[in-house]
Amino acid sequence: MSTITEQLGRDLAGRYRLEAGLGTGASAHVYAAFDGRLRRRVAVKLLHPGLSGDAAFLRRFSAEAQAVAALNHPNVLQVFDWGEEEDGPFLVLEYLGGGSLRDLLDQGHRLTPAQAAAVGAGVARGLAYAHRRGLVHRDVKPANVLFDAEGGVRIADFGLARALAEAAWTEPQGAVLGTARYASPEQAEGRSLDGRSDVYSLALVLYEAVTGRVPFSADTTVATLMARIGATLPPAPELGPLAPILAQAAISEPVVRLDADELAEDLEVLGRALPAPGALPLAPRPLELSLDDTPNGSGEAPSRRKSPRRSSGRDGAPSRTPSPDAGLEDLTELGTSSARRGARSERARADRQYETDRHETDQHETDQHWDGQRWVHEHAADQPFVDEDGVEEQAADKRRPRRLRRTVLAVVLLLVLGAGAFVADRLVHSGIPVPAVAGRSVTAAEKALVAQHLRAQSTRAYSSAVPAGMVLSQRPKPGVRAKAGTPVKLVVSQGHAPVAVPQLVGESQSQATAALSSVHFAANVTPAYSETVPAGTVISASPASGTAPYGASVALQVSEGPHPRQIPQFSSSTTWAGASAALTGLRLSPIEERAYSDQVPAGEIIATAPSEGAGGVAVGSRVTVTVSLGPRLVTVPPVSNLSIAQALAALQAEGLNATEQIGPPLSTQATTTDPAPGTKVRPGTPITLYVK
Q: What is the pLDDT of residue 317?
A: 37
What pLDDT does 495 receive? 85
The amino acid at residue 242 is: L
* Per-residue model confidence (pLDDT) at position 63: 72
**579 φ, ψ (degrees, to nearest 5):** -65, -40
Sign of the Cα pseudo-torsion (154, 195, 143, 115, in order): positive
Average pLDDT per run of 10 along the chain, which is 692 residues long?
77 90 78 91 84 69 76 90 82 89 93 96 95 90 91 85 53 47 86 90 96 87 81 90 91 89 92 89 57 36 36 37 34 38 48 47 38 36 37 47 61 60 50 87 92 91 83 86 90 87 94 92 94 94 90 94 92 88 93 90 91 90 92 90 90 88 86 92 89 86
**pTM of the entire structure?**
0.48
Taking the C-alpha atoms of residue 692 and residue 686, their distance in angstroms, rounded to an integer, is: 20
Amino acid letter, residue 478: P
> Any idea of the CA torsion for 8, 11, 15, 21, to the nearest 10 degrees?
-20
Helix (H), strand (E) at residue 145: strand 145-147
DSSP H stretches of helix in 336-392? 337-363
DSSP string across 17-58: EEEEEEEE-SSEEEEEEEETTTTEEEEEEEE-GGGGG-HHHH
Question: Which residues does 156 contact at the CB level (< 8 Å), separation at least 6?
Answer: 77, 93, 144, 145, 146
Res 208: pLDDT: 96
pLDDT at 86: 77
Total number of residues shown for the chain? 692
Integer distance in angstroms from the first to the last C-alpha of the chain? Answer: 119
Q: How far apart are CA 596 and CA 593, in angstroms?
A: 11
Phi/psi at 473 (5° precision) = -155, 165
Do residues 487 and 537 lie in contact, with contact meaning Cβ atoms separated by under 8 Å?
no
Indicate the helix (H) or strand (E) that contains 474.
strand 471-475
Strand partners, 455: 487
Of 35, 81, 139, 261, the catalytic one is: 139
Q: Annotated catalytic, 367? A: no
pLDDT for res 406: 62
For the chain, helix (H) and strand (E) counts, in that order, are: 17, 28
Sorted by where each starts, the structural domains of the chain and their CATH numbers stand as 4-285+312-335 (1.10.510.10), 432-493 (3.30.10.20), 499-559 (3.30.10.20), 576-628 (3.30.10.20), 634-691 (3.30.10.20)
Q: Strands (DSSP E) along 380-462, which ranges?
A: 432-433, 455-461
pLDDT at position 412 is 60
d(CA 200, CA 113): 18
How many Å apart are CA 45 and CA 28, to the nearest integer? 6
